Structure 1
Amino acid sequence: MLFHGEEWNSDFRFYAKYSFSRSYCRTPRKKKSVFAQNFDKLYEDERCDLPTNEDGHKQLMYDAVMVALSKAKKDVEKIDFFLTGDLVNQMTPSNFTAQALGIPYLGLFSACATSVSSMITAALLAEANQAKWLIAGSSSQHNAVERQFRYPLEYGTQKAATAQWTVTAAGAVLIGQNKPGTPSISCATVGKVVDMGMTDPLNMGAAMAPAAMSTLSSHLTGHGKTVDDYDTIITGDLGSSGFKLLKALANEQGLPHTKNFRDAGEEFYGKDPSFFAGASGAGCSAAVFFSDVYQKLQKGEYQRVLLIATGALLSPLSFQQGDTIPCIAHAIEISINEVGRI
């Protein structure tokens, strides 16, 4: 892995599979993601026909893992570590998923950046020869997350145009030693916490954009790359307002971005204004990275991509106490030299 110019000597194969829950409960419209045709599993009920939102949240991640294992023809017993996290207090959906799977578990909290931080950690464990196969990923469930970080759903509180809609989705990826024709992780950058003093939980995109810019700049400088080295540079869930700010920050640093910059949050719901500035949640980047981006790599439409997942590191308590919102962004570079099938 490239950390500040040091070469990571191995490539890592990863099988990307994902599940998505279409939200029918307490949503403004019965709409699904524009990426739904790429997802492996859809649900009619946001709770996955289980009693609570948290039960449904757990089921999403469990199903995503099982789909990934099925596609790769691997048994649970062959997996050395399970790395994941979510946005609920103490990550209980992830904890219960780990209990159900019975895989040695490392719970990670990078907020909505967990999809990438889990991949980085998994790849480092494989690089250190501490594991052969690992599952990484993240998840979110709309109702469980929204009632923590914003307002009780029953209030029907109006939201600003900068607000984002937490997705109900999960993504899991199986990581192991690479073989020709499969996407490989070639390098990564672990971001620093950036806090610009923002306190509005309904404007997360603007809070996270500087962290995304910081990590992008560090990655390009540390690894001797330019934006033109990538078919796409896709951020996790800045939404339309945060993505606009990121592009403005890139302009200030002289980085062209019109051709290959994308944001999963802005695209997830097809820029439908019913979802305000777009999507958010730990499942947002996981679902888009492990579906649309991964499939484009497999088909040869992309040869090299940079995934930058962003996260707002606030808690319900810190928000209530008027604290600012510290943010993080992690980047991982994925490439493919030969189109192949898993």
Structure 2
Amino acid sequence: MLVGRQSWIFDKPPVIIGAATAVGPDEAAGPLGKHFDIAFPDNRLGEKTWEKAEKKLMETAAEEALKKAGVDGQSVNFFVGGDLMNQIISSSFAARTLEIPYLGIFGACSTAMEGLALGAMLVSTGSAQYVVAGTCSHNCTVEKQFRYPTEYGSQKPPTAQFTVTGAGASVLAPQGKGPRVTRATIGKVVDMGIKDPFNMGAAMAPAAVNTIETHFREFNLQPDEYDLVITGDLATVGHQIAVELFAQHAFPIDKINFQDCGILIYDREKQDVQAGGSGCGCSATVTYGYLLKQLAEGKLNKILVVATGALLSPLSYQQGESIPCIAHAVAIEGGRGD
């Protein structure tokens, strides 16, 4: 059901009956490494190219999620997925392997929650029995597409972020055991005129703030509604800017447990990741690998995951365009369902 202008409340909350993650070696070596399902020892994953390796990440996460859900792929109605590669080829080619009817989406690094929100809508309205929602990214494919060739080894400023090599997927059903998707707020594009692709956190922070404030306003929620509000890809630079923007807007962020997936996934003291993590796989792996376990163990009860995305392309950058950004929020609640 529509709430306000851009939010949904799911009267029949879909259940995440299975979720899985697949990551590369840097992510496995980080603070959350033990929470990921499958960790590959190198970024090639035994494939000939980085792009083929990224596709394999998506296939692996989706297949493992289906296995954990106890659902055969042939029973799934839709796979809702996307990524950062040209024409979302990683997800599209994974869909070819999975042989599941496919809805390809692009929200840059916000794709994880965009897909989960759309999948939840399909299941909640009875338009699907089972939906797989997933996304992926790979550090080497993103670097060579959006910045410099991976082999170039260029230096990066401290504002830059380290793209996560990882994939996350979930299986949604109308009933079953698992956490429930209860609400979603679809973001709108916010562009503050930033053009530097090495400062994504600053570009995305205003979009995250806009979506979070909209979510709380449209649902008329108090600051203690969620045990955790977590953004997807702001890292240290964007997270601090978001806190400052909330203060300017008199939004009570100081009363909220406010964190960021890009900060949690790496150890910045021991790993050379500049400001922290980013990429489609960032919020996907942290949510489906770490946060869902926190819900299952009762350490968290209600969370709001706000995936953030920078909607630029190599072409828009070459033409001198600024970076339009977006954020999508999804509320997930613990409990064992039916």
**Smaller-chain TM-score bracket:** over 0.9
Residues 293-341 of structure 1, C-alpha deviations (whole Å, 9 max, x = no match): 11111111111100100000000111111100000000011112x4x49
CA distance in 2, matches of 1:162, 1:291: 26
Task: State the match for 1:271 in structure 2.
Answer: 268
* Corresponding letter in the other structure for 2:329: A
Give unpaired runs (5+ residues) of structure 1.
24-29
Query: Structure 2 matches for 1:312-323, cutoff 5 A?
Result: 312-323=310-321
Task: Note the C-alpha offset of 1:257.
Answer: 3.1
Task: State the match for 1:114 in structure 2.
Answer: 111
Would you say the 8 A contact 2:232–2:305 is kept in 1? yes
Task: Note the C-alpha offset of 1:130.
Answer: 1.4
Q: Secondary structure at the match of 2:272?
A: helix
Task: Note the C-alpha offset of 1:125.
Answer: 1.1
Task: Note the C-alpha offset of 1:20.
Answer: 1.1
Task: Note the C-alpha offset of 1:177.
Answer: 1.1
Task: State the match for 2:215 in structure 1.
Answer: 219
Task: State the match for 2:3 in structure 1.
Answer: 3
* Corresponding letter in the other structure for 1:194: V
Would you say the 8 A contact 2:24–2:39 is kept in 1? yes
Residue 139 (structure 2) pairs with residue 142 (structure 1): yes
Residue 204 (structure 2) pairs with residue 208 (structure 1): yes
Q: Secondary structure at the match of 1:215?
A: helix
Instruction: Give 1:89's match in structure 2, choosing from 86, 91, 101.
Output: 86
Residues 97-149 of structure 1, C-alpha deviations (whole Å, 9 max, x = no match): 00001000011100000000001111111122111000001100111111111
Instruction: Give 1:101's match in structure 2, choosing from 84, 98, 102.
Output: 98
Residue 231 (structure 2) pairs with residue 238 (structure 1): no
CA distance in 2, matches of 1:2, 1:210: 24
List, as ranges, runs of 4+ consecutive aligned residues in structure 1 with deviation greater than 4 Å. none
CA distance in 2, matches of 1:145, 1:185: 30
Q: Secondary structure at the match of 2:79?
A: strand
Instruction: Give 1:257's match in structure 2, choosing from 253, 264, 280.
Output: 253
Residues 15-63 of structure 1, C-alpha deviations (whole Å, 9 max, x = no match): 221111214xxxxxx9722211001101012121110101100000000
Would you say the 8 A contact 1:3–1:189 is kept in 2? no
Task: Note the C-alpha offset of 1:2.
Answer: 5.1
Closer, same or farther: CA 7–54 of 1 in aligned 2, 3 Å: closer
Residues 57-98 of structure 1, C-alpha deviations (whole Å, 9 max, x = no match): 000000001110111111111111001111010111111100
Query: Structure 2 matches for 1:1-342, cutoff 5 A?
Result: 1=1, 3-4=3-4, 7-14=9-16, 15-23=18-26, 32-179=29-176, 182-258=178-254, 260-272=257-269, 274-336=272-334, 338=335, 340=336
* Corresponding letter in the other structure for 1:20: V
* Corresponding letter in the other structure for 2:85: V
| CA root-mean-square deviation | 1.7
Residues 182-236 of structure 1, C-alpha deviations (whole Å, 9 max, x = no match): 2101111000000000000000000000000000010000001123111000000
Task: Note the C-alpha offset of 1:256.
Answer: 3.3
CA distance in 1, matches of 2:97, 2:34: 28
Task: Note the C-alpha offset of 1:7.
Answer: 4.4
Aligned length: 333
CA distance in 1, matches of 2:8, 2:278: 33
Would you say the 8 A contact 2:28–2:36 is kept in 1? no
CA distance in 2, matches of 1:296, 1:186: 17
CA distance in 2, matches of 1:229, 1:3: 17
Q: Secondary structure at the match of 1:19?
A: strand
Q: Secondary structure at the match of 1:274?
A: coil
Would you say the 8 A contact 1:112–1:280 is kept in 2? yes
TM-score calculated relative to the size of structure 2: 0.95
Would you say the 8 A contact 2:13–2:181 is kept in 1? yes
Q: Secondary structure at the match of 1:254?
A: coil
* Corresponding letter in the other structure for 2:283: S
CA distance in 2, matches of 1:341, 1:123: 15
* Corresponding letter in the other structure for 2:193: G
CA distance in 2, matches of 1:103, 1:253: 44
Give unpaired runs (5+ residues) of structure 2.
none
Task: State the match for 1:26 in structure 2.
Answer: none
Would you say the 8 A contact 1:81–1:135 is kept in 2? yes
CA distance in 2, matches of 1:282, 1:8: 25
Q: Secondary structure at the match of 1:113?
A: helix
Q: Alignment identity in percent? A: 41
Would you say the 8 A contact 1:178–1:184 is kept in 2? no
